[in-house]
Structure formats: C-alpha cells, structure tokens
C-alpha cells in the first residue's frame, strides 16, 4: 500500500477503518482512503502576459549566470541553488518562473514558515504585475488558485499533482526539514521539477546532488559584492554576558538590532529587561499573535530592538540590522540556524557590513563551524 497524499509505504501507519484502509501518518490533514482515487486539482488557465516581469534591480553578472543555468536545467532535472544569505535567491528564480508561465504551466513558491509567505508574495506580485499572485497560508485560504501560488509547505496538501514547477524555499528549515509527511505531500503536489533554495543544504539535498538527481549551482557573494559579516564570539558566565550585551546594544543605537534568544520564555524575560533601558523593544516568538505587524513595524521604523526566537532566523530582511545571538552555544541551535541568523546582517546596499555577535557560556563547536562556513564563503567574495 502507498498513501496517495504523503507517499507513505510503511505498513505500521495504515489502519483498516470502517470504509477502508487509511494512512495515519498524515491524518492531521484529514482522513484519506488508500483505495480512494485522487484526481489532479482543477486549476484556472494561466492568463495571457502573466510571464512578463520587471525586477527592481537588474541581476548582477554572478546572479545572471546562476539564473540562466537554472532555466536551462529545470525542465529536465531538479535544481539546488546553494546561495549565501542575502544573495537574492528569489530574484534568481524569476526567469524560471516566467519560462513556465509563458508555457501556461502552473508554478508554486512554497515556504516553510507562514510569516515569509506574505512578504514573498508581495515581492513576486511586484515582479509579475500581470500575474495573479495568490498567497495561501493560515488566514489566507479563501482564494487558493491563481497564476502563481505562494504558500506554506503545509498548504501543499491542497494541490495534488498540480504544479509543473515547485520552488521550495529553505527546505532545510523547520518544520519541513526532516518531516516525511511534508516531503511526501510536496512530492505529490509536483508533477514536474523542483528548485531548492537554501544557504545551508541538509543531508537529503547533499545526497541528491551526490547521486546526480539534483543539479547544484553555487553563489557565494551577495549582490553588493561585500563579504558576509563573520560573528565575533564572546565567552563568559551568564552574569557577564548581560553587560556584554548591553555594551553592544549601546554601541549600535543608530541601527535596528535583532537579539536572538533560544527559548520563548527567555525571549519574554529578555524583552522585559531590555525594555527598561531601551525603547522601542519588541518581542517576536511563535506565540506572538501580531507577529506580522510587529515585524513590519520594526522593518519600517529601522530602529530599536527586536528580541526573537529562531522564528525570525530565515526569510526576513531588516535593512541595516545588526545581530546578536544570546547563548549561541545553547542546544536548540544548529550550525545552519546560526548561519541563517548571522545572515540577517549586512544585507543592505547602503550598509553592507553589519555586525554580528555570538555570546556563549562555553566554547561551541557549532559557533566555530558557523564562522568557518562564512569565512569560506567570503573567499569567493569580490570586494
């Protein structure tokens, strides 16, 4: 038996219900019978001229090389764009999206985290002014069809055998990473090929490249050509890390500052402490009900402090931001997450340097690995 939705073939997950066998592994998406025949989702025809696009800034020569390579390969194989944080991965997929839309083929841009969906949908809507760019995520499920769908990976369950091109942004991020259900649903939604976008490919992607199933293209330089900020690591007991943090925050008052904290409870406590000495000070976690509003306000104000958990580590660009990871040696972090958090800094053309600080209680191999990874990427960077 094989689940037609999540691709599961493990007999332990199948259960004989009153109407037939069904898969319990993806039961959270609704019960589906194994014998039930699933038909491709009916979709609207792609409107004329939807493929016409206009980028706010032309691609750099390095971006153009990767973009052209992606277009030339994506019709025959899956593609991995392994590009550093802030390299413009979304912009490098635009030509591929246009090529599929021109052929009246269905395209989806899927993202692991909800808060990035609306931002990416807005950007793609600006790039493709004649296309119906539809965001589909929690709170935005009234309209689910258009020329170009931007959705969370969870929402892919709606689109059985629908997309000729599926773009998976940050597939190594939680909750998509390591979730066999979401991997299976993504495979069921795509009838063509997949573009994977990430700065930190996981073992699944590395193995696919090694086996020749995925074609990889690498870009280790941001559009402004400046090196990626490499974190400065400070070690000490907790009672000394706080003065170090306060000194760093005072030093960077002219910039918005993001302070990453490993736990939700820790973020709340840190927010209360810092708000006594610094204003404005906002806290963003997975439990923040007005998370999108807080992030957008912080982005527009370009000042103050944002205390955040890993919910803010990917996909969000805050111009001029400096970054501190408090307790960077905490077990909740991994190398990929640290690279992504450091990658929030130095993304702006007007302020491409940025500053990153890792505060640790003890020496961390992961922090050192993060530094090494960024230093290696900078070797290919032209200043």
Lowest-confidence pick of 33-47, 80-94, 265-279: 33-47
- Residue 237 pLDDT: 95
| Measured distance between the N- and C-terminal CA atoms of the chain, rounded to whole angstroms | 56
**How do residues 62-106 score in pLDDT, each as one tens digit?**
999 999 999 999 999 999 999 999 899 999 999 999 999 999 999
**How do residues 9-30 score in pLDDT, each as one tens digit?**
999 999 998 888 999 999 999 8
Q: Mean pLDDT over residues 159-187, rounded?
A: 92
Average pLDDT, the chain: 92
Q: Is the pLDDT of residue 315 over 80?
A: no
Q: Is the pLDDT of residue 41 over 90?
A: no
- Residue 144 pLDDT: 94
More confident residue, 289 or 46: 46
Position 159 confidence tier, pLDDT thresholds 50, 70, 90:
very high
* Phi, psi for residue 65 in degrees, rounded to 5: -60, -45
- Where b means 16+ CB within 10 Å and e means fewer, 25-34 reads bbeebeebeb
- Residue 349 pLDDT: 80
- Residue 380 pLDDT: 67
* CB-based contact 196:205 (threshold 8 Å): yes
Q: Mean pLDDT over residues 304-329, rounded?
A: 92
**How do residues 213-270 score in pLDDT, each as one tens digit?**
999 999 988 888 888 899 999 999 999 999 999 999 999 999 999 999 999 999 999 9
What are the distances in angstroms from CA 213 to CA 74, 167, 183, 193, 209?
12, 16, 16, 11, 6
- Residue 383 pLDDT: 39
- Residue 278 pLDDT: 92
Q: Read off the tokens for 198.
A: 């990430």
| Closest C-alpha among 29, 160, 69, 39 to residue 106 | 160
- Residue 362 pLDDT: 95
Q: Is the pLDDT of residue 310 over 70?
A: yes
What are the distances in angstroms from CA 352 to CA 257, 312, 355?
15, 20, 10
Q: What angle do CA 380, 214, 312 make, to 5 degrees?
A: 60
- Residue 381 pLDDT: 59
**How do residues 177-195 score in pLDDT, each as one tens digit?**
889 999 999 999 999 999 9
For the CA atoms of 176, 181, 186, 191, the dihedral, rounded to the nearest 10 degrees, stands at 160
* CB-based contact 120:315 (threshold 8 Å): yes
Q: Is the pLDDT of residue 273 over 70?
A: yes
């Amino acid at each position: 038996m094989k689940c037609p939705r999540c691709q599961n073939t493990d007999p332990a997950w199948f259960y004989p219900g009153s109407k037939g066998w069904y898969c319990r592994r993806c039961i959270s998406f609704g019960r589906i019978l194994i014998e039930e025949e699933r038909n491709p989702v009916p979709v609207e025809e792609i409107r004329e001229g939807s493929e016409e696009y206009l980028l706010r800034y032309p691609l750099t020569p390095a971006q153009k090389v990767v973009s052209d390579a992606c277009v030339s390969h994506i019709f025959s194989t899956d593609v991995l764009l392994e590009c550093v944080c802030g390299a413009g991965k979304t912009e490098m997929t635009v030509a591929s999206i246009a090529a599929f839309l021109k052929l009246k083929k269905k395209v989806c841009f899927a993202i692991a985290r909800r808060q990035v969906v609306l931002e990416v949908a807005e950007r793609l809507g600006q790039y493709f002014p004649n296309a119906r760019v539809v965001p589909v995520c929690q709170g935005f499920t009234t309209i689910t069809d258009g020329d170009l769908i931007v959705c969370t990976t969870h929402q892919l369950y709606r689109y059985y055998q629908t997309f000729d091109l599926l773009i998976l942004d940050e597939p190594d991020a939680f909750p998509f990473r390591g979730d066999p259900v979401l991997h299976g649903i993504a495979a069921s939604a795509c009838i063509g090929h997949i573009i994977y976008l990430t700065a930190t490919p996981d073992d699944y992607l590395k193995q696919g490249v090694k086996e020749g199933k995925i074609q990889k293209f690498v870009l280790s330089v941001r559009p402004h050509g400046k090196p990626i900020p490499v974190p400065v690591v400070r070690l000490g007991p907790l009672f000394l890390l706080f003065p170090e943090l306060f000194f760093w925050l005072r030093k960077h008052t002219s910039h918005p500052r993001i302070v990453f904290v490993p736990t939700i409870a820790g973020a709340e406590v840190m927010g209360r402490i810092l708000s006594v000495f610094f204003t404005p000070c906002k806290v963003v976690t997975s439990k923040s009900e007005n998370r999108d509003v807080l992030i957008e306000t912080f982005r527009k104000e370009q000042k103050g402090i944002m205390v955040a958990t890993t919910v803010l580590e990917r996909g969000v660009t805050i111009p001029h931001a400096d970054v501190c990871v408090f307790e960077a040696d905490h077990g909740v972090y991994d190398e990929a997450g640290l690279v992504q958090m450091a990658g929030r800094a130095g993304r702006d053309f007007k302020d491409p340097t940025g500053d990153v600080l890792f505060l640790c209680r003890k020496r961390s191999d992961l922090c050192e690995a993060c530094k090494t990874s960024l230093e290696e990427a900078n070797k290919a960077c032209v200043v």
